[in-house]
Amino acid sequence: MKKFLALCLCLAMVLSLCACVGGEAPAGDQPGEDQSQNSESDASEVTYTVGICQLAQHDALDRATQGFKDALTDLLGDSVVFEEGNAAGDPATCTTICSGFLANCDLIMANATAAVQAAASATSTIPVLGTSVTDYATALDIEDWSGTIGGNISGTSDLAPLADQAAMVKELFPDAGTVGILYCSGEPNSIYQRDVITEELEALGYTVLEFGFADSNDVSAVTQNACNECDVIYIPTDNTAATCAEAINNVALVAGVPIVAGEASICSGCGVATLSIDYYDLGYATGEMAYEILVNSADISTMPVEYAAQTSKLYNPDICEQLGIEVPEGYSPIEG
């Protein structure tokens, strides 16, 4: 009997041992299981570094830069970082800023003509997107302009229809005889606009006189000369004029000579009216182009320059009131 019980006990122990060997292994010890399967195909998130070179600080350029940054932030979140430089109106400083981007930037946004020119000289490999540039053919000395720059450059233009701006002068001041074009002679795009709108204004029957200032040092004197000889002054999209709008207004308002401006930031400082684009929207569109280049590998050499989708008739209520000018229907007050 004792032998039988011992035999049964041995048999039970053998069966128990077999069950342990043949049963399921503890969780996490399954044959071939990868303990790090939750991160099996995770890759580090790509971070893009974008350099921003802005020629000067004034409302139009500031809005374009903000729109650009907002677009990329909306599309990329924390996966984009910006390196920013403001040249304070000095084209030579643009060159220094752009050269500093070459070591680690995936793309350069160049805000204004001098910034684009500096970026173009600094690199032929890093993608460069311009914005707030009126005419790229003039800025980059391109013949037989087709709408596409080629190479590593594209961008957006802030050109509002100059024929429509001339028509605005006629709508507001039909009885004026002489219109003066006030512009910075050192800005190629201002010279381009001067030439085009002069033809448009002359076709409408105006006598047109040109008044170019070299920089902020002579803007007041040149403005005074324009006021002495003209019934109305037109200022194109001009970065120097934008930064000197207060100085221009101090002369023109006292002289009682109205100014029609090429864009809203100049108009808010010294103008009575403008046909302007929205620079924030322009910058945002530039940011969307940057996303296509960075993320979707769009070929910048084939990307045509883009233009603002719409323009707005705006007026400056304060200056209009001081000059006794009644603006017809269809104009909206400049905000701010």
The CATH number of residue 293's host domain is: 3.40.50.2300
Q: Tell me whether residue 181 is in a domain.
A: yes
Name the token pair of 295: 């993320």
Q: In sequence order, what are the residues at sequence separation of 6 or more whose Cβ sits closer than 8 angstroms to the Cβ of residue 74?
A: none
How many domains does one find in the chain? 2
Do 246 and 288 fall into the same domain?
A: no
Q: Which amino acid is at 176?
A: A
pTM to 2 decimals?
A: 0.81
Write out pLDDT tens, residues 299-321: 999 999 999 988 999 999 999 99
For residue 215, pLDDT beyond 70:
yes
122 in the same domain as 54:
yes
Mean per-residue pLDDT, 12-25: 41
CA pair distance 256, 95, nearest whole angstrom: 40
Q: Is residue 105 within 8 Å of residue 126, measured between CB atoms?
A: yes
Residues 212 and 327 placed together within one structural domain of the fold? yes
In a domain, 22, yes or no: no
Q: Is a pLDDT exceeding 70 seen at residue 273?
A: yes
Domain that holds residue 329: 162-276+312-333
Q: Does residue 116 carry a pLDDT above 60? A: yes
Task: Note whether 292 and 234 are same-domain residues.
Answer: no
Same domain, residue pair 105 and 191 = no
Lowest mean pLDDT among 13-17, 62-66, 96-100, 144-148: 13-17
- How much of the chain exceeds pLDDT 70, in percent? 87
- Averaged pLDDT for residues 85-111: 97
147 is written with which tokens? 């709408």
Same domain assignment for residues 325 and 213? yes
Same domain for 235 and 263, yes or no, is: yes
Query: 83: closest CA among 62, 103, 63?
Result: 103
The residue count of the chain comes to 336
What local confidence, expressed as pLDDT, does residue 79 receive?
97
Rg of the chain over Cα atoms, rounded to whole angstroms, equals 32
Q: In sequence order, which residues have a C-beta less than 8 Å from that of residue 165 and are 6 or more positions away?
A: 197, 200, 234, 260, 262, 274, 275
In a domain, 111, yes or no: yes
Q: What is the pLDDT of residues 172-195, one digit of tens each?
A: 999 999 999 999 999 999 999 999
pLDDT of residue 336: 59
What's residue 127's pLDDT?
98
25 in a structural domain: no
Write down the mean pLDDT value for the chain.
Answer: 89
Residues 212 and 110 in one domain: no
Q: Give dist(CA 296, CA 108) in Å, integer.
A: 17
Compute how many other C-beta atoms are within 10 angstroms of the C-beta atom of residue 62: 18
Mean pLDDT of 236-244: 94
Between the CA atoms of 318, 60, 114 and 222, what dihedral angle is there, to the nearest 10 degrees?
A: 0
Residues 196 and 218 in one domain: yes
- In this prediction, residue 1 carries a pLDDT of 42
Query: Sorting pLDDT into bands at 50, 70 and 90, what band is 111?
Result: very high
Region 123-144: what's the mean pLDDT? 96
Task: Provide the pLDDT for residue 13.
Answer: 42
Cα-based distances in Å from 303 to 125, 156, 192, 282:
15, 10, 23, 16
267 within domain boundaries: yes
Q: What is the mean pLDDT of residues 56-70?
A: 96
Mark whether 288 and 231 lie in a shared domain: no
The arithmetic mean of pLDDT across residues 95-121, rounded, is 97
Residue 88 lies in a domain: yes
131 φ/ψ angles, rounded to the nearest 5 degrees: -150, 165
282 and 260 belong to one structural domain:
no
Is 4's pLDDT higher than 80? no
| Domain identity same for 129 and 60 | yes
Whether residue 39 is contained in a domain is answered as no
Phi, psi for 45 (deg, rounded to 5) = -70, 135
35 falls within a domain: no
Q: What is the pLDDT of residue 39?
A: 35
Query: What percent of the chain is modeled with pLDDT above 90?
Result: 84
Q: Which of 24-38, 51-65, 146-160, 180-194 has the lowest mean pLDDT?
A: 24-38
